[in-house]
Chain A
Amino acid sequence: MTQELDALYKDIILDHQKSPRNFGTLPDADVLREGFNPMCGDHIFLELKYSADRKKISACRFRGEGCSICMASASIMTEEVAGESVDFALREIAAFRELMKGTKLPDDFEGDIEALAGVRKFPVRIKCALLAWTTLKDALEHGTEDGNFTKTE
């Protein structure tokens, strides 16, 4: 098998896909946001619980159906942002988008995010990796005020 393919389907990715972290629902969520990729049918629901002052994401869960890249990316993202400040999450989202665009290098990232860098070589799959992050961005910036539906570009 080609190295490129192995770089896409790293063990970390397949592990997140098989046992996604923070998978399920948040009974007392402040925001429920739906994300959909119309081209391939990747479909997730993202739920957030804020701290009392709304500056921190105290919990973050997702569920849905999608390819391994989409599901692993969502799983990794929830691990990154749960318990972190909203500002941190927005910065991470921006950085992740730059990683996908190739304007930031994997070396700038730590932990499991770096494993997603292989997606950059597969242009049609970038939107799979971005779905959860774009949905989170909309959830943080708009809540559900703009229709509660995020579609990848």
Chain B
Amino acid sequence: MKPAFDLKEVQKIRKDFPILGLEVHGKSLAYLDNGATTQKPLAVLNSLEEYYRQYNANVHRGAYYLSEKATEAYEGVRPKVCKFLGTSKTSEVIFTRGTTDALNLVCSSWGSENVKAGDEIVVTRMEHHSNFVPWQALAKRKGATFTVVELDSQGRLDLESLKKVLDRKPKILAITLMSNVLGTINPIREISLMAKEAGALVVVDGAQGVGHLPVNIGDLGHIDFFAFSSHKMCGPTGVGVLWGKEEVLDKMPPYQYGGDMILSVEDQLTRWNELPWKFEAGTPNIADVIAFGAAIDYLFDLDRAKIHAYETELTQKALDRLLRVPGLKILGPHTVEQRGAAVSFTLPQIHPHDLATYLDHQGIAVRAGHHCAQPLLKKLGVVASTRASFYFYNLPEEIDRLGTALEGALEYFGVKA
């Protein structure tokens, strides 16, 4: 493993994120809700402003300077995404509104064409609603079976159960790279190779992992689709990527219809544009895609291996500190192996919403609720939990503040051990 950032480096990195200097309720902000969205560095903010100030124009259309410049910048992000994912074909990179949109694209387009009554669609217990509900709805629409693979007591996928399900030759396996609640990182390579042997389409939700771990599509075994969002990796909201295998994308019908996705239109016949534009109907989110490119450059410069190493240190510290808080229970693995920097927990007798309000008044921003993973929380027997999720700009002292504040909350709400 590469050496992690030292504190001096992190302090320097923090200067790239103006928002981190904010005060909230008179306390300096400790932003620990990075699983929901990350903050944006100056490079991204500047990129947005530069586009709107200096070359705002529609893409793929006008034969004039501004439009050419905008098109070049917009299309220039595709090779960056390829480099980021370790792939080579820009035809395989489709810009979407986000992960949810990307997953819905696969579900509507590939699903409507290929899933039939009696087929089986498989997801896991740890999926976010965005990689659960579309498949459940598709299964209902088609009369297919919808199967949820369970987890072990540590919150890791039960590979033996998965193997049994795969023996039935399901049509689709939709699985997350990293759980947004448990922090669990799935062994996608091992899983996808098994699923491919069973003949399943493998769809990976990369939203939680991709800005934190060095992701290389080639290292993920044999996957067909990989979906992720810009805003969870320093980029703007409203942009995501669907990476898909060219031969699979080629055979799929369009997802939405309109401008930009066509080659020619006649009264009774339209010919679709080639990849990737076949799947990008309408004027795209030009400014945000370009700024997403700036986010990718930023992460490349920092080095994702170092980011992961530093986040692992933070996670270790968070697990150690939180487990010392009386009565606190961590949902998910208690060790950092194959685990990311999202740590969900419950405190006795304090509802996560009350806790989040209390922490907010200490300047600490965390997520409280069901984390868009109701089937998982129900299975774990909790209505809601609190989640602290870290990024490379978080400081060890912010974890100390969190630990102290949690103990303060126990006292404030009069919880007796």
Contact = CB atoms under 8 A, between A and B. Distances in A.
Contacts, number: 48
A1 B370 contact: no
Contacts of A106: none
A122 B357 contact: yes
Contacts of A18: 414
Interface string B138-164: 000000000000000000000000000
Contacts of B351: 66-68
A55 to B, nearest CB: 36
B384 A40 contact: yes
A4 interface: yes
B187 interface: no
Interface residues of B, number: 19
B414 A14 contact: yes
A39 interface: yes
A5 interface: yes
Interface in B84-115: none
A2 interface: yes
Contact of A5 (B353, B361, B368, B374): B361
A41 B414 contact: no
B408 to A, nearest CB: 8
B369 A41 contact: yes
Nearest to A11: B414
Nearest to B377: A41
Contacts of A2: 25-26, 361
A138 to B, nearest CB: 22
Nearest to A5: B361
Among B26, B351, B384, B414, max chain A CB count under 10 A is at: B351
A56 interface: no
B52 interface: no
Interface string A38-63: 01111100000000000000000000
A4 B25 CA distance: 10
A65 interface: yes
Given A9-B412, A14-B414, A67-B351, A125 B369 contact: no
Contacts of A43: 383
10 contacts: A40-B384, A41-B374, A41-B383, A65-B383, A66-B351, A67-B354, A68-B354, A69-B354, A125-B353, A125-B357
Interface of B: 25-26, 351-354, 357-358, 361, 368-370, 374, 377, 383-384, 412-414
